[in-house]
Amino acid sequence: MGNQFNKIGLIGKFGDANVSNTLLRLCDYLKKRQCDVWLETNTAKQVAEHNIATAEFAEIGHKCDLAITVGGDGTLLHTARALVDYNIPLLGINLGHLGFLVDFHPDDMEKLLDQVMAGSYMEESRIMLTATIDNVNEPEPRVSDAFNDVVIHKWEVARMIETETYIDGKLLNIMRSDGLIISTPTGSTAYALSGGGPILEPYMEAMVIVPICPHSMSYRPIVLDGNSKIDVIVRDYPHSHAQVTCDGQINMGLVSGDKIHIKRKPQKVRLIHPTDHDQYHVLREKLHWGEQY
């Protein structure tokens, strides 16, 4: 029986030399199955003495029918942002500690990949956000995607920031706080959860706004329809010094008067899971629900 996927891009955790052995083992496995394999360019720099073809993310997006990440959730978040426009599925091999997204364990890698190659797997689609920043001091807006969350927060200052938030053009609130988390369902188990937000089913067409340490306890998390458009203005408030962070990996500075526009990205992220994937099992395991202390 032929492979379900034949052209595969490999992306490893940035700056982690420990991924090399798993990547080389993965390459050997795929080549034995007659697959064409490309190592992402920066990943290749971490793998010593290899004779594997290399490619930039855009080339992987154009050439490949599957991308495999080796690392943790952070590696998959980075890859998702880089490849979402190319509509290729992502599969994560977990070398990290707390993996909500990457659920193929290296000990079972070959056995599980045999199943995937035979067409036996589960696929799901998840939404991603796009943040556009209209900066009062810059002529062109800055744009970044986020798979987990867009966070507007204070920057190395003990004082709060003041934000004005609109949903579909209608005022939601004016709030003093340490910031705001605008999260996808995927990100609802990340920073938003730590901030007291709800856990959303990952496939939902929704997003959640979670205030970070608001000045008044009356401000609560709010769940919005996935088609909502969120606008946040950083108000002119003494000592305002803020930034926007996407997925905890991309940082952009803000000044008073800047406007942040957040909406769902048209393209979705495609994730490959083992056939026995169970989101509730993941939650029980990662959040230690039901453990006896």
pLDDT computed for residue 93 by the predictor: 96
Residues 78/249, Cβ–Cβ less than 8 Å? yes
Give the pLDDT score at 241: 74
Q: Are residues 235 and 276 in the same domain?
A: no
Q: Give the global pTM.
A: 0.93
Dihedral sign, CA of 75, 76, 81, 84? positive
CA distance linking residue 76 with residue 107, whole number of Å = 19
Name the domain count of the chain.
2
103 — alpha (psi -120 to 50), left (phi > 0) or beta? alpha
Please indicate, yes or no, whether residues 135 and 251 belong to a single structural domain of this protein: yes
CA angle centred on 257, ends 251 and 259, rounded to 5°: 55
CATH number of the domain residue 246 falls in = 2.60.200.30
Same domain as 143, residue 223: yes
Distance CA 287, CA 187 (A): 14
Would 236 be classed as within a structural domain?
Answer: yes
Q: Taking the chain (293 residues) in consecutive chunks of 10 residues, what is each chunk's mean pLDDT?
A: 89 84 94 96 86 95 97 95 98 86 92 96 97 90 97 84 96 96 97 96 97 94 98 78 92 91 98 94 89 69
Question: Same structural domain for residues 146 and 110?
Answer: no
pLDDT at 156: 72
Q: Residue 276, class by beta-carbon neighbours within 10 Å (0-12 exposed, 13-18 middle, 19+ buried)?
A: exposed
- Contact criterion met (CB below 8 Å) for 73 and 100: yes
Residues 183 and 244 in one domain: yes
Instruction: Tell whether 144 is covered by a domain.
Output: yes
Q: What is the pLDDT of residue 150?
A: 98
Domain around 104: 7-126+268-287
The pair of three-digit structure tokens given for residue 155, joined into one six-digit string: 């920057």
CA proximity to 163, closest of 248, 231, 224: 231
Tell me what pLDDT residue 94 has.
Answer: 93
Domain co-membership, 92 together with 184:
no
Q: Known catalytic residue: 73?
A: yes
Which residue of the set 73, 149, 178, 258 is catalytic?
73
| Identity at 177, one-letter amino acid code | S
